[in-house]
Amino acid sequence: RNVLPQFGFAFGAESGELHLGAHDTARLASPLQWFPVDHPEDGYWQVAVRAVRVGNVTVDDCKRGCHGIVDTGVSRLGVQASNLPLLQATLVAALSKRGECHGSLLSFDLGDMVLTLGPQDYTDSNCAPQLGPLSLDESKFAGVYTFGETVLRRYYAAFDWEKRKLGFAPLAGVSAIVKDPPRKPLMGVRGSAVLV
């Protein structure tokens, strides 16, 4: 029998699936995009991240290098402790009158693909960003983010241990990302534009 040296995870709102030796293409909204495992000798399923953005604002340009580590045991988005305050402050979400969270999109640029999360993905029921600090030695680890349940509820993750590659594809049937409501520029102090 032809079994691929791969496995994959598909989380959902209510349940998840583990696929061994193949992938259920019915769960994928588009084909898998494969990336080399970054620093496989470290023992993590991690990919290089080129930039982290909130809306159109780059909060981490990854000039020192950034990595996204897939961790199925993490419910929050893990953020290196030194990067957490800026990201937390930039991810301001508000509760609408209809009870939905509205805020900026959070995106991780992987080069050939961008993993995008809406406020409904990264906030709790009070619209507070659900981020967890990663206390890592800055001299050994720079720009580390953990892609746990927050990312895996929106994206299928595939692992190829023979070729040392990690693949992502949007999950089929996942609700659309709620984008920022349009904001109008107002003139602020000394003529600077402020978005509201």
pLDDT digits (tens, 9 = 90+) for 67-77: 999 998 888 99
- Looking at per-residue pLDDT, the higher value among 58 and 100 belongs to 58
**Reported pTM:** 0.85
Is a pLDDT exceeding 90 seen at residue 103? no
Find the DSSP H helices in the chain.
84-90, 119-122, 149-152
What b/e string do you get for 151-180 counting C-beta neighbours within 10 Å, with b at 16 or more? bbbbbbbbbbeeeebbbbbbbeebeeebee
Centre a 10 Å sphere on the Cβ of residue 41 and count the other Cβ atoms it contains.
6
Backbone dihedral angles phi then psi of residue 122, each to the nearest 5 degrees? -110, 5
Give residue-wise pLDDT tens across range 39-64: 888 889 999 999 999 999 999 999 98
pLDDT band at 96 (very low <50, low <70, confident <90, very high): low
Cβ atoms of 54 and 181 closer than 8 Å: no
Q: Which long-range contacts (CB under 8 A, 24 or more apart) does 119-123 make?
A: 119/91, 119/93, 119/178, 120/175, 120/177, 120/178, 121/150, 121/151, 121/153, 121/154, 121/177, 122/77, 122/91, 122/150, 123/91, 123/93
CB count in 10 Å sphere of residue 28: 20
- DSSP 8-state code for residue 97: T
User: Residue 94: which pLDDT band, with cuts at 50, 70 and 90?
Assistant: low
Query: Are the CB atoms for 108 and 46 separated by under 8 Å?
Result: no
Instruction: Say yes or no to pLDDT of 187 above 60.
Output: no
